[in-house]
Every structure is written in C-alpha cells, then in structure tokens.
Amino acid sequence: MLDKFSIKIIRTPLTKAASILCARGVTANQTTLLGFIIGCMSLPALALEQYPLALCFIVINRICDGLDGAIARIRGITDAGGFLDISLDFLFYSLVPFGFVLANPEQNAVAGAFLIFAFIGTGSSFLAFAVMAGKRGIENPVYKNKSLYYMSGLTEGTETIACFVLFCLLPQHFSLIAYVYGAACWFTTSTRIWAGYKTLS
C-alpha cells in the first residue's frame, strides 16, 4: 500500500549510490547476494535475542534490496536478476519470524508459523499473477521499471519492513504484532486473488 510513496522518497538517493557502485564495477546480482548473506546473519542474532544487532542486519538487507534494483536500471534489467532478487526476498521474509520462533519457541512458535503461513499467501498470489501478467503482456502502470508485474496490496515491502522493525524494537510483543500483520497479509492475499481472477477472466 505504501510502496508507491516510499519509492518516490528513496529513488533519488538510491540512484546516486547505485551510480557510484556501477562506476566501481559492482553488479546488481552481487548486491542481491551480498544483501541476502547479510540478511541471513539476522537469524542467529534473533535466535540469541540480540535484537539491535539483528535489526542492523535487516536494515542493511533492505538497503541492498533497493540498491540492486537501482543498479539494474542503470546496467539493464534482466530476467535472471529479477528471479534471483524475488526468490531471495521471499526466503528472507520467512527467515525473520523463524528467528523469533527460535528465540522463544514457547511464546512465539504459533504466531511465527501463522505469519509464515500468511507470507505463503501473499507470495504465491503475487507470483502467480506476475506469471500470468507476463504471459499476457499486462503491464503495471505504477511499477514500470520492475522485471515482473508488482501486484499491489495492503501489505507490501514498506509495511513488511516496518513490521520487522517493530519486532526488533518490541520483541516482547512479537506474537501480537505477528497475528495482526498476518491477518493483514491474508486480507492482501484475498484481495489479490479476487482482483487477479477478475482481471484474467
């Protein structure tokens, strides 16, 4: 829901940083992989309840996720790069709640499982429509410079980042936040399925 606004705010600084990185020979795929590796370091940090450290890894991962797209727009967007980016993004999204489950299984396991379950819904509806949109040549008027169709919804990247930040700042309330955000994700899934089906039929 908020991505179309946040993208406008971060586009200029990301483009400037991407230009510097491109001049030094850095590629989009390198940035994607580096961001994912750093993001994975949040898992042991979360499991050990080192929440400020985990938050740093999460933020760096998300910065890299913005930079790889900016670099790709300069160097040229590729299907392989888009595939790598979205695949690792969805893995990272599930990694964060799993880290909180490891930190406190008794309190967080059910809520964490519910959120990952909800992420399956948002991810599968998002990707399924992107495949069909690509097949039919349907373009998104909002996200024109993406490698695949970005279907909007109540919960998008900006909201997910905000959720992860709240998790790290308020770890004692992980379950409550996870249930609320998971419910919002299921609202997104249901509206995407309905809108996607109507569009394709």
Mean pLDDT of 24-49: 97
pLDDT score recorded for residue 164? 97
Which percentage of the chain shows pLDDT scores above 70? 91
* pLDDT tens digits, one per residue of 108-165: 999 999 999 999 999 999 888 888 887 877 776 444 555 555 667 788 888 999 999 9
Q: Cα separation of 115 and 121, whole Å?
A: 10
Q: Cα separation of 110 and 123, whole Å?
A: 20
Both structure tokens of 14: 């990301």
N-term to C-term CA, the chain = 24
Whose tokens are 């499982």? That residue is 113
Mean pLDDT of 36-52: 98
**Torsion sign (Cα): 83, 85, 89, 92:** positive
Mean pLDDT of 85-113: 96
DSSP 148: S
- Contact of 31 with 21, CB cutoff 8 Å: yes
Q: Which domains does the chain have, with CATH numbers?
A: 3-200 (1.20.120.1760)
